Structure 1
């Protein structure tokens, strides 16, 4: 029985861990069948070589060299996938356009600064002096009607100047979008001509029968188009591959324990876990556990020896149907076995395939996508609660309108103590004082103590809430990453594209819009009146972008943007990167197995989707409010420069080598960008139409005591009134142009492309696949054989060995291994207790 147990444990224990710590060749996998063969003692030189192979390194004269940070151009990064090159080109090009926009923004910043409306209110946040809040204008209830009326021409000129500056840089942005599409298309075409990958020679086919299928039969079918170098199958794992990855981890742990040469409780428990795992798989498959070759085929990947042969294949299948008696039928020579219609398309790169997800149909992916909505909304609600907490604290301090109603004047302190006794009156009086005076004058400080405490608390909570929003953004990013993986998308690029879209939309709403909506007052709108909980929704303090909005809500938004911009990059650069260096240089002696040491020497994954979503969030959030706060354009430019150099440094020195990303993600980015302009134009239209800042007509009132006529308010305007003035017309036109760009990108261009479905990509390869094979091996995964993929090969070996062993042993033997392992574990525990 013990011999049988040991035999079972050897098979169950292993064949999974890699001699080089997780990344090894297929040949080595085939030679190693147990943990004792595959798990080895740690070797520092092997780990260093492993790091060089799994990082972005230049291989020259049989040695690896680090790429220079500054000297490495983006076309060099493009050799590792067009998606990686497009990522850095995306940041670089946007940094250039925002450099231009920042230069133009100096004009409205100067115009705002010259307004001097806030000159006497020194407690305002510094940025408000260069926002629309500082535009020249009269003070209600204090400015004579005749004086205010004479200021209207100046106000109109200022509005015109601000609008023209916005028009100029928005036109630059629109021109840039058109240029960017042409530029990206040129990069993609150039990369396809310069770079030869396995995908350059390969097609993907589906529609094969469920019965057993041989690679030779598929090869014979596709040989009609030219020489076939390789045929590889994607199999229906029925969701088992994920479980085999868990089994592989247990196997690695068993190998680690065996290297200690001790029959420990930990080892027996791991062996028992492995036996239970196999028993569950045995029962789930009703005793018919299959090897990889016995699983049904769902896709085939065919590599032709020549690119031209692949092109011929795609052309043939593009025109594969003929019209016959009002029905469409595939040409017989293109049908597999003369009766099975095949769907053939360009194959993704082998490193881009998620083999465990190919088996999932689209309806299952959509169902899983819907499931992801609930937890996302829960986090959004938490973010809204944070903003409401700030709003509650700020409501304890009266706003400008309330202070105006109380008629609190800036008089001497002795007079104020007699005239203003309520909290609101004291707050309004203290609000008019200079910060320096508040802290230097002990009498004034004593009188305003409660006010100073409230303002300090509000500022602290505002800053902490900004950190809280950034923290929620981080949780959103992690959660949506997990949920996107749960969707089971079949390619890494597709998964990254979906992940980027979800994370960007969630982060943008959380960063830029929730604060705005919580503080907005839409109670007068008809649809709000019909809501069930209307008294709790959209009941904020601001019906418009007033001067006080910039001081209150604008300050919160800017604080959130600055924290979200700075914090993640400094964490990556100043914390995680040094930790990685320390693990490799100072802690390598503590690792026992090569697997452990290689894991420490392997850089973290470069999450290109999350990074792209962060960049889009920065661009959209800054540009959204830049009409009223032009400083945000400069903030966006500086942020993009920081992101570019931080990520370039970390990609070349810290992260592991990414898979070969396609251009899909940046096509999706192209769909989003016109909405950024449309949102900016919509917000600018409303900001430039604010009657509090750019009034067109005043409501007068006559003081009964003095007989003087003052301005009491401005004439209320509808959204239609704002549209028909110059700023409104300009922004509507710009918004329309942006919408046409989106229609072209999303509908017309894709519609025209659909007319040429399965069109042959512009590719060039003067050498054949077999001649390029050595170079393809050096770059990365060169084959569609799943055994050549180091992430999946150990799982397939584990699957095969489990299937073969369970067939030999049967269910009773598997149950016995579990019982014996449990008994041995109990004996070890009792022996340990007896010794003690």
Structure 2
């Protein structure tokens, strides 16, 4: 095996040279170098970077961060699981399609026949009333179908539960193994707090650790910027833009207003920064002169790291009993300048750190999270009523129809007997809606033209409302991503986890719960009607709407079938748009790149946009939740969910390899957030299944619960316990799953923590003779991500550090704002 020579850390002079290159006239050769460094490429045996093929295995993604690998692996396995579940659901769809429960609405939507509501209804042998024999036969048949449905639902629910438990175990094992096997900087690194603020020389801390017998690659300090880092960063970016404007000014089509705009923004930022520096810091400082906050230490081996953590804690973390009664005392060699250091065993990868947020205390961040939570809640209320109003305006169906024999002759007779114009119109409408499409267009088009146009308009409104909901969700996502920045997360992964949770909840509420609330009628309680009371137009519009009682047959016909149409648009349109717009976006980007005047603009236009893992995780989670939420009512949701996940996987993998820029090295934070939320999808599915299968009108609990009420079937007995007993298999499964969660979160997890604390259990130390050093694998790591905690090497912060050091002069030393652009002094 050939020896890998580590790349040297770049000096500040090289960084300055790179900045000069960024704001020089554009050069396609340098842009190509930028593409190789920032796109999702692999390194071959000769060290050359080449694009991945679409067929590349997911294990290759592990080199670019464990978080990205876990995302695609979870999506891949979810596709397999949903495929198996879809096969079972397809059998249920077939059983449902053979029923006659929704014949009265047979032409409202073809998808309604696949729902549970289409289970056979009671039939009268006499043609007018229901006899005891009719009721008994209906009960016998419904009991048989109920048993079949609940066992099938039990089967695919159990499959998903096993998938959740199995993947949780596998992913936890993979995360643990990655601490040793995967070559990422965080596995070799620790954080250290407890340093003096005036600590300046990282080599002293490095020598202290090495004197204890552990080999260290590097020690880098993080600084406390007194909340000015963002302003410094914005200032540095504006200075770069102003330098670029000077180059653009050489061309005849230059607009000087842009430069004036940047200068105005620069003055405002500098004024704000000057105020903070004057009131908080007292004087202008160079980067290295800012107070030291903490240190990042990269060890040469993971074994060095683990042994240092274990030995240092063993010899410094003495409890009260050990100190007072046993006389335990920290040896001088474990004291750094007289202090015991606070060790942070696991830190983020260098490219994953938000350096400006490290200084924010946990209490301050908690307060910020409360404020952001309230802001997101207000946004969700606003979007709730927007989507709510859209659903109210776009009615689900025409007026309700009585269950009759709608022949043309009978219809004319009923119309002649009707006393009002509205009754006649409704009878005509019901006749037309019960015709097959072939008969409707062939024989009764003129007679039913008004109804056809009305029905077409309703369908168009439903489609339009689905797209409006999609637009509202997209705007809400942009707003949430903007305000989450206020929470000041310490790492990109933690920020994305917080964004993911808020995005998912908003998506699920808008796409699943609002539709349910809109038509909810729980024992006469119409939640939608009461929620709309503050807005009279919405309430008056709903007075004309039908509120189906619970999950009865009317609900499946009026709400369920229409929701499938809306959901098809919601789950497929984002991926379809992404894939269709891919070549268009590429064309526009290349066109703009051809006209780029400076290297910085050309570089940005030469690579694709960021891969928003939090957004894609939120959409993935929303697809799973909504599918499981409604699949007991409408089994077709499972095949649709499978197709959505499959398209999601294919499109996102293709765009990641061919379009998006190389993402940061995500850790497992997003994955952990998803698997914290995922059990709730199972619980909600089980609760909805129990309520749906226990509906006494479709699946009566006993023949005694059915009464012959003047020719109309009525329900006399209904309770929560009856519904639970109707679907006993699923109820038992739900109880078992909840018990598993309780054992996991309230017994196993606390026990593991106690064992770790009491027994000082640490990671297994790898044999030093077999373990590669960080120097040996530095070249491999740096080819896929940032391999050092030197902030001057970070693409997002190097402009900032140079700006701090070059702008160290006092304001009196500057003659004009133009002199404050440091790159002009080069």
What displacement does 1:39 show?
A: 1.7
Assess, with a 3 A threshold, how the Cα gap between structure 1 residues 730 and 770 changes in structure 2: closer, same or farther: same
Assess, with a 3 A threshold, how the Cα gap between structure 1 residues 318 and 733 changes in structure 2: closer, same or farther: farther
Aligned equivalents of 2:736 and 2:780: distance in 1? 46
Match of residue 295, structure 2, among 293, 300, 314? 300
* 1:583-622 paired onto structure 2 within 5 Å: 583-584=589-590, 586-622=591-627
Contact residue 396 and residue 558 of structure 2 kept, 8 A: no
* 1:24-63 paired onto structure 2 within 5 Å: 26-27=10-11, 30=14, 32=16, 39-60=23-44, 61-63=46-48
Contact residue 209 and residue 340 of structure 1 kept, 8 A: no
> Could you say which residue in structure 1 is the equivalent of 2:319?
323
> Could you say which residue in structure 2 is the equivalent of 1:683?
688
Range 343-352 or range 331-340, more displaced: 331-340
Aligned equivalents of 2:321 and 2:762: distance in 1? 30
* 1:261-300 paired onto structure 2 within 5 Å: 266-267=258-259, 270-271=262-263, 273-275=265-267, 277-286=269-278, 288-300=283-295
Aligned equivalents of 1:671 and 1:612: distance in 2? 13
Assess, with a 3 A threshold, how the Cα gap between structure 1 residues 267 and 629 changes in structure 2: closer, same or farther: closer
* 1:539-688 paired onto structure 2 within 5 Å: 541-584=547-590, 586-688=591-693
> Could you say which residue in structure 2 is the equivalent of 1:505?
505
User: Within the alignment, does 1:69 sit opposite 2:54 as a pair?
Assistant: yes
Aligned equivalents of 2:12 and 2:201: distance in 1? 25
Aligned equivalents of 1:91 and 1:121: distance in 2? 38
Range 266-275 or range 189-198, more displaced: 266-275
Assess, with a 3 A threshold, how the Cα gap between structure 1 residues 269 and 191 changes in structure 2: closer, same or farther: closer
Contact residue 508 and residue 620 of structure 1 kept, 8 A: yes
Contact residue 68 and residue 666 of structure 2 kept, 8 A: yes
* 1:101-140 paired onto structure 2 within 5 Å: 101-119=85-103, 121-138=105-122
CA shift digits 1:250-299 (9 cap, x unpaired): 22222222224659565466456545543443333126111111111111
What displacement does 1:471 show?
A: 1.6
Contact residue 499 and residue 609 of structure 1 kept, 8 A: yes
What displacement does 1:235 show?
A: 0.9
* 1:252-651 paired onto structure 2 within 5 Å: 252-260=240-248, 266-267=258-259, 270-271=262-263, 273-275=265-267, 277-286=269-278, 288-319=283-314, 320-324=316-320, 331=330, 333=332, 334-372=334-372, 373-391=374-392, 394=395, 397-400=398-401, 403=402, 411-420=409-418, 421-432=420-431, 433-436=434-437, 439-440=440-441, 445=445, 448-522=448-522, 541-584=547-590, 586-651=591-656
Q: Secondary structure in 1 aligned to 2:718?
A: coil
What displacement does 1:166 show?
A: 0.6
Contact residue 398 and residue 424 of structure 1 kept, 8 A: no
**RMSD (CA atoms):** 3.3
Contact residue 675 and residue 739 of structure 1 kept, 8 A: no
What displacement does 1:583 show?
A: 2.4
What displacement does 1:621 show?
A: 0.3
Q: Secondary structure in 1 aligned to 2:222?
A: strand
User: Within the alignment, does 1:242 sit opposite 2:218 as a pair?
Assistant: no
User: Within the alignment, does 1:159 sit opposite 2:153 as a pair?
Assistant: no
TM-score by length of 1: 0.86
Aligned equivalents of 2:109 and 2:582: distance in 1? 34
Assess, with a 3 A threshold, how the Cα gap between structure 1 residues 356 and 577 changes in structure 2: closer, same or farther: farther
Range 388-397 or range 196-205, more displaced: 388-397
Q: Secondary structure in 2 aligned to 1:115?
A: coil
Aligned equivalents of 1:786 and 1:655: distance in 2? 25
> Could you say which residue in structure 2 is the equivalent of 1:173?
160
> Could you say which residue in structure 1 is the equivalent of 2:3?
none
What displacement does 1:100 show?
A: 0.8
> Could you say which residue in structure 1 is the equivalent of 2:175?
188
Q: Which runs of 5+ in 2 are unaligned?
A: 1-7, 821-826
Aligned equivalents of 1:124 and 1:494: distance in 2? 47
Range 745-754 or range 198-207, more displaced: 745-754
CA shift digits 1:593-616 (9 cap, x unpaired): 110110001221111111111111
The number of residue pairs the alignment matches comes to 778
What displacement does 1:508 show?
A: 1.1
Assess, with a 3 A threshold, how the Cα gap between structure 1 residues 509 and 528 changes in structure 2: closer, same or farther: closer
Contact residue 330 and residue 341 of structure 1 kept, 8 A: no
Q: Which runs of 5+ in 1 are unaligned?
A: 1-23, 704-709, 822-836
Assess, with a 3 A threshold, how the Cα gap between structure 1 residues 531 and 292 changes in structure 2: closer, same or farther: same
Aligned equivalents of 2:84 and 2:737: distance in 1? 19
Aligned equivalents of 1:316 and 1:410: distance in 2? 91
> Could you say which residue in structure 2 is the equivalent of 1:227?
215
What displacement does 1:316 show?
A: 2.9
What displacement does 1:542 show?
A: 2.8
CA shift digits 1:514-542 (9 cap, x unpaired): 11012112465799999996999999713
